[in-house]
Amino acid sequence: MKFALAGNPNCGKTTLFNALTGSTAHVGNWPGVTVDKREGSYRKKGVKIDVVDLPGIYSLSPYTPEEVVSRNFIIDEKPDVIVNVVDATNLERNLYLTTQIMELDRPMIIALNMCDVLAKAKRKVDVKKLADVFGVPVVEISALRGKGLDEMMRVAAKAADGVREGRSVVADAPAIAELVKEAKQRYADAGADNIVFRSIKAVEGDEQEKAKNPRIFELVGMQRNDEVDYEAIVADARYKFITEHCSGIVSGKPQGVKLSKSDKIDKVLTHRIWGIPIFLVIMFAVFHLTFSEDFLYLGAMGAIPSTKTPSVWNDIFGNGAINAPGTILFNLMDIATSSLGELIAGAMPEGVWYSSLVNDGIVSGVFSVLSFIPQILVLFLFLSILEDSGYMARVAFIMDRAFRKFGLSGKSFLPLLMCFGCAVPGIMATKTLEDPKERRMTIMLAPFFSCGAKLPIWAAFGAILFGGQHSDLIVYGMYVLGIVIAIVSAILLKMFVFKGEASPFIMELPEYHRPQFRNTMVHLWQKLKHYLFRAATIIAGSTVVIWFLTNISFSFQFVEDQGDSILGQIAQVFSWLFVPLGFGMGEDGWKFVVAAFSGLIAKEMVVSTLGTFAGMQEDALEVDSDQLLSTALGTLVSGMAGGAPAAFAFMAFNLLSVPCMAAVGAAYGEMRSGKQIWAAIGYWMLVAYVVSALVYWIGTYWWISLILVALIAAAIGIKIYVDKTKKRIAPKNLTHSGD
């Protein structure tokens, strides 16, 4: 037996699905989290029932991918019962979808969710009346508290045994009654299924119905008056029915009258002016907690004396200052991995080639990635908490106002936000954007957002360049740089490529609530799993390949000087390309070029590649155990020929270039066009190259920034001038020829 959960976004379908099936699907706070359906099974006393979590929808019209997925599933896969999940705290709006689902020839029940919230407000739904109005069973549940679920499944199973014919509450609306009757007749003659549903859709002029039954659609269409907006009439009739029959169905005072706690919080957090600054401060606090080596600024105030004598205590908790929790965990992990590395190195025979492969290749490569896990976990923990509490949905709302100026809507903020975790799901989430222009543009911007895999690069370079004093600022700065470049990019793309207005953005803000421990942990685990998996496969594999390429010459001989190796030779040929970016300069320049190129495969590779190179520079065993990574890597980075500007240029290049092959694959999946994907790849590389060069040159000669400002001002001036002249020349009654 198969039950399908259908309902509005945020009505609690996924929570219900998880409660029924014991799975750990992502419970999201915004539309688009569940674009695809998800299946699991409910087991009780030997009965097994398949449960399908459909994406959240407001109607069964095929305007969004969610609506298409849900509608097709219900009609084509014929679930035994449709469980219409309804948010009882928002009853009338949720019932709009109910009036549509009930038109299908499928058994259905209404699961009245969030009853715990109603009960708290001392309100009650007249269940019997609701069941009478819609002619289907109604069960009160709380998905979150696990209340009423077994009863719900029992009622649903009973409903599955019967047959149900579709009923419409709008068929008798005067303006369409005749038309509906006619359509029903035609569908009946043709022996169609879901006659009531199809008739209403045909009257509405529904595109999908037109594709399905073109003949009937045309016949019905001939009776229609072109002047009349039938869709609007049908929608009105649905609302009218709901207001007439359901207004008194919930007892007690609706909460809307009084400001709820969430509304009060929102007055501050989504303030017109303060919203964005507050968001930036919150984000800074998160980065500070994760990366700072001067957590409470006690060091900056000189409150703690620093000592010269090294001690493990100081290495972990900080010297002359207190490390942030994230940094403390990082230090612990660093000590653990480097001790383990030392153990492995000690156990390997000396002077044989495979010892070098294991120690300098695999161990230093993989361990340098592993040692960043604590900080990644801490950062993601905070982000998950912000997401689960409902705050991130607010940020999308705040951002919508700003995004509009750049031709995007708050809708694209959500996928872009995901890119901070990983660009792959972020790019996939652009599925929810209806406007193809907006979707393409969002994909183009996606890699600029610093993902989890780039984090180790910032953390390592920050620690090396500033001795850890301001690592949090560096990391925060890279994230901000990515955002700034994305904004500038958006402006340019809108100006020259994707012209036009952004689609409207409507989103329901969920109530704030305390994040659920289990949920947060599940999020964390999923992210960690992803990272570990990549460390174990792609990264370990690639470090081996890179080790060989950097230790073997074209004539298959082991080399003394890595410059003679295959990769060294190739990189030296191309490193002149990166001289203008600073990091291609000097004797070690090619190493950074190779690292940057490995980053195009996966960004985790950058640090591990440099780690591999650094490992070969010194005898790892002679270095202090807890500094295996930082010292060797530190020597390499602080010895860059271009100095600190080159290091920053290197970071900028990694921030903005092609994020990884997986992301390219995902982008191709969404764009489905070879031309577009090549354009995107070219664009990312171009932006990375230009910005990286700018970073280097401005870092080296500050006055270049003045020229730059002048050039930008001139460009804007020219653009405004050209637009003005165009307007003057353009004839008045020009018809649109489409673009």
| Contact footprint for ligand GDP (CB under 6 A) | 7, 9-15, 27-29, 34, 56, 113-114, 116-117, 142-144, 510, 513
Q: What's the closest the beta carbon of residue 39 comes to Mg ion, in angstroms?
A: 13
DSSP H or E stretch at residue 111: strand 108-113
- Describe the chain by its helix, strand, coil percentages, rounded to 5: 65, 5, 30
| Among ligand GDP, Mg ion, none, residue 142 binds (CB under 5-8 Å by kind) | ligand GDP
CA-derived radius of gyration, the chain: 30
Q: Which residue stretch of 27-35, 412-420, 523-531, 568-576 sits at the interface with Mg ion (rule: CB under 5 A)?
A: 27-35
CB closer to ligand GDP out of 397 and 648: 397
Q: Which residue stretch of 14-22, 63-71, 163-171, 198-206 sits at the interface with Mg ion (rule: CB under 5 A)?
A: 14-22
Look up residue 575 and give its two tokens.
Answer: 């490193």
CB closer to ligand GDP out of 54 and 660: 54
Q: Which residue is nearest to ligand GDP (CB)?
A: 12
CA distance 659 to 426: 12
| Among ligand GDP, Mg ion, none, residue 9 binds (CB under 5-8 Å by kind) | ligand GDP
Q: Which residue stretch of 32-40, 395-403, 543-551, 572-580 sits at the interface with Mg ion (rule: CB under 5 A)?
A: 32-40
Look up residue 8 and give its two tokens.
Answer: 């509005």
| Among ligand GDP, Mg ion, none, residue 144 binds (CB under 5-8 Å by kind) | ligand GDP
Q: What's the closest the beta carbon of residue 277 comes to ligand GDP, in angstroms?
A: 26
CB closer to ligand GDP out of 12 and 582: 12
Q: What's the closest the beta carbon of residue 152 comes to Mg ion, in angstroms?
A: 18
Q: Is 34 in the site for Mg ion (CB under 5 A)?
A: yes
| CA angle, residues 709, 714, 715, in degrees to nearest 5 | 100
CB closer to ligand GDP out of 117 and 195: 117
Q: Which residue stretch of 30-38, 75-83, 395-403, 719-727 sits at the interface with Mg ion (rule: CB under 5 A)?
A: 30-38
| Among ligand GDP, Mg ion, none, residue 65 binds (CB under 5-8 Å by kind) | none
CA distance 534 to 602: 9
Characterize 4-40 residue by residue with b for buried, 16 or more Cβ atoms within 10 angstroms of its Cβ, and e for exposed: bbbbbbbbbbbbbbbbbbebebebbbbbbbbbebbeb
Alpha helices in 170-274 (DSSP H): 177-189, 195-204, 207-212, 214-223, 230-246, 261-269
CA dihedral 605, 608, 614, 619 (to 10 degrees): -150
> How many residues in the shown chain lie near Mg ion by CB under 5 A?
2
CB closer to Mg ion out of 195 and 507: 507
Q: What's the closest the beta carbon of residue 647 comes to ligand GDP, in angstroms?
A: 42
CA distance 109 to 140: 11
Q: What's the closest the beta carbon of residue 653 comes to ligand GDP, in angstroms?
A: 38
Q: What's the closest the beta carbon of residue 5 comes to Mg ion, in angstroms?
A: 9
Q: What's the closest the beta carbon of residue 299 comes to Mg ion, in angstroms?
A: 45
Number of Cβ within 10 Å of residue 480's Cβ equals 16
Q: What's the closest the beta carbon of residue 35 comes to ligand GDP, in angstroms?
A: 11
Q: What's the closest the beta carbon of residue 220 comes to ligand GDP, in angstroms?
A: 34
Q: Which residue stretch of 26-34, 125-133, 334-342, 725-733 sits at the interface with Mg ion (rule: CB under 5 A)?
A: 26-34
Q: What's the closest the beta carbon of residue 144 comes to ligand GDP, in angstroms?
A: 3
Widest pairwise Cα distance in the chain = 93
Orientation of helix 604-617 relative to helix 455-465, angle to 10°: 40
CB closer to ligand GDP out of 29 and 471: 29
| Among ligand GDP, Mg ion, none, residue 221 binds (CB under 5-8 Å by kind) | none
Q: What's the closest the beta carbon of residue 47 comes to Mg ion, in angstroms?
A: 25
Q: Is 113 in the site for Mg ion (CB under 5 A)?
A: no
Q: What's the closest the beta carbon of residue 386 comes to ligand GDP, in angstroms?
A: 13
The separation between CA 471 and the C-alpha centre of its own chain, rounded to angstroms, equals: 25
Residues in the chain: 739
Between the alpha carbon of residue 268 and those of residues 106, 277, 404, 505, the distances in Å are 46, 11, 22, 21
CB closer to Mg ion out of 430 and 657: 430
CB closer to Mg ion out of 101 and 278: 101
Q: Is 338 in the site for Mg ion (CB under 5 A)?
A: no
Q: What's the closest the beta carbon of residue 141 comes to ligand GDP, in angstroms?
A: 7
| Among Mg ion, ligand GDP, none, residue 11 binds (CB under 5-8 Å by kind) | ligand GDP
Look up residue 691 and give its two tokens.
Answer: 């910005």
CB closer to ligand GDP out of 14 and 64: 14
Contacts of 138 (CB under 8 A, 6+ apart): 109, 110, 112, 127, 130, 131
CB closer to ligand GDP out of 144 and 474: 144
CB closer to ligand GDP out of 10 and 450: 10
| Among Mg ion, ligand GDP, none, residue 421 binds (CB under 5-8 Å by kind) | none
Q: What is the DSSP letter of 564?
A: G
Q: Which of 8, 14, 94, 432 binds Mg ion (CB under 5 A)?
A: 14
Instruction: Give the residue from 615, 649, 619 showing the smallest Cα distance to 630.
Output: 615
Q: What's the closest the beta carbon of residue 385 comes to Mg ion, in angstroms?
A: 19
> What are the two backbone dihedrals, phi and then psi, of residue 274, each rounded to the nearest 5 degrees?
-85, -15
CB closer to Mg ion out of 55 and 642: 55
Q: What's the closest the beta carbon of residue 632 comes to ligand GDP, in angstroms?
A: 46
CA distance 445 to 422: 13
CB closer to ligand GDP out of 117 and 358: 117
Provide the β-strand partners of residue 52: 4, 39
Asked if 447 contacts 483 with a C-beta cutoff of 8 angstroms, the reply is no
| Among Mg ion, ligand GDP, none, residue 615 binds (CB under 5-8 Å by kind) | none
Site string for Mg ion, 244-283 (x = CB under 5 A): ----------------------------------------
Number of Cβ within 10 Å of residue 686's Cβ equals 12
Q: What's the closest the beta carbon of residue 14 comes to Mg ion, in angstroms?
A: 3
Number of Cβ within 10 Å of residue 92's Cβ equals 14
Characterize 408-432 residue by residue with b for buried, 16 or more Cβ atoms within 10 angstroms of its Cβ, and e for exposed: bbbbbbbbbbbbbbbbbebbbbbbb
Characterize 533-568 residue by residue with b for buried, 16 or more Cβ atoms within 10 angstroms of its Cβ, and e for exposed: ebbeebbbebbbebbebbbbeeeeeebeebbbbbbb
Q: What is the DSSP letter of 4?
A: E
| Among ligand GDP, Mg ion, none, residue 179 binds (CB under 5-8 Å by kind) | none
CB closer to ligand GDP out of 511 and 618: 511
Question: For the purposes of burial, counting CB atoms within 10 Å of the CB of 203, is it exposed (0-12), middle (13-18) or buried (19 or more)?
Answer: buried
CA distance 666 to 664: 5
CA distance 410 to 58: 19
CB closer to ligand GDP out of 145 and 401: 145
Binding site for Mg ion (CB under 5 A): 14, 34
